[in-house]
């Protein structure tokens, strides 16, 4: 009876699994703050993708750990970059999965910021417009390598329009853009920065990620990205911002996703390890809450666990 009258349903196809790709072979290195989540070499990622496909997941969101970093984030847009290599391998082995490629510079810059930095002694400034060229080069390189969707997460102003223009010019006019349109400067990203080696070496990201107090500004950011050509939007984080997800769902009639981020996962895993919460019930309750708020799909490190539970 409960199933019959249930208002919100969750299914494996609405779940997206993040993967962290790293150089080497046979590498499966657990991230200390994220039990059960690993840095994976490409051969191991292919195995993970095969399981994800068998479980009926909707797709993968790919991040990269380059062998080296520099101030121009060259590993992000190099044709032999780690994610580009991963896309080519996964495209041939995991055809049932959508491959979503994150577009950002933070994993590839020596300083860990999401854009080009100009420094003058202790003072530093993110050069928004100079960053757009590198982000667009990255998006085109990822599309060329086989990305089904590119997902800019950098939060530079105007990046969606520039990426759309460069994709179209390069012949990828059918490649959709999933914009992290409302990405807040959150304390819940800590474990991800360990996983991706992307913690800023100085300062913070408050000048380009959003203030968590501002819901109306989030709606303006989304509206701007859609006007520039975004096809879908992604809200990040999820649980502390369910009201923002709901407001976006009420205002915008486009595919909308939410990212249950690393800190949300780590927080729950810590409670599970201590026996304070029931794993399956709490995991599913959080995912249902994100769907109930209005998300059409969810990026979550619980994707495989949840899919097993659902099946």
Give catalytic residue positions. Answer: 183, 236
Residue 140: Cβ-neighbour burial (10 angstroms; 0-12, 13-18, 19+): buried
Q: At what angle do helices 159-169 and 128-145 cross, to 10 degrees?
A: 40
Give the phi and the psi of residue 257 in degrees, each rounded to 5. -115, 165
Whether 166 and 137 have beta carbons less than 8 Å apart is answered as yes
Whether 299 and 57 have beta carbons less than 8 Å apart is answered as no
39 token code pair = 């840095």
3-state secondary structure of 149: strand
163 token code pair = 């990426």
3-state secondary structure of 17: strand
| CA–CA separation, 231 and 264 (whole Å) | 26
256 token code pair = 């909308």
């Amino acid at each position: 009876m409960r199933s019959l009258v249930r208002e919100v349903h969750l299914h494996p196809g609405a779940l997206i699994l993040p993967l962290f790709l790293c150089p080497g072979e046979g590498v499966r290195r657990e991230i200390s703050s994220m039990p059960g989540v690993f840095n994976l070499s490409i051969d191991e990622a292919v195995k993970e993708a095969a399981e994800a496909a068998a479980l009926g997941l909707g797709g993968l969101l790919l991040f990269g750990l380059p062998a080296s970093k520099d101030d121009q984030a060259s590993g992000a847009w190099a044709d032999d970059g780690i994610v580009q290599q991963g896309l080519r391998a996964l495209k041939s082995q995991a055809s049932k999965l959508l491959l979503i490629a994150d577009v950002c510079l933070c994993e590839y810059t020596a300083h860990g910021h999401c854009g080009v930095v100009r420094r003058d002694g202790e003072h530093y400034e993110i050069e928004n417009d100079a960053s757009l060229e590198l982000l667009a080069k990255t998006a085109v390189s990822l599309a060329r390598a086989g990305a089904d969707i590119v997902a800019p997460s950098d939060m530079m102003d105007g990046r969606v329009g520039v990426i759309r223009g460069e994709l179209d010019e390069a012949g990828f006019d059918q490649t959709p853009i999933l914009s992290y349109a409302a990405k807040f400067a959150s304390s819940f990203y800590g474990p991800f920065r360990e996983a991706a080696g992307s913690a800023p070496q100085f300062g913070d990201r408050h000048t380009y990620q959003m203030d968590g107090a501002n819901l109306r500004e989030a709606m303006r950011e989304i509206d701007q990205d859609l006007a520039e050509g975004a096809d879908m939007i992604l809200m990040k984080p999820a649980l502390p911002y369910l009201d923002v997800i709901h407001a976006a769902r009420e205002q915008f009639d486009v595919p909308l996703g939410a990212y249950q981020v690393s800190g949300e996962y780590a927080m729950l895993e810590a409670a599970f390890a201590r026996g304070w919460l029931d794993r399956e019930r709490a995991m599913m309750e959080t995912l249902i809450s994100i769907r109930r708020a209005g998300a059409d799909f969810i990026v979550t490190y619980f994707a495989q666990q949840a899919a097993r539970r659902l099946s």
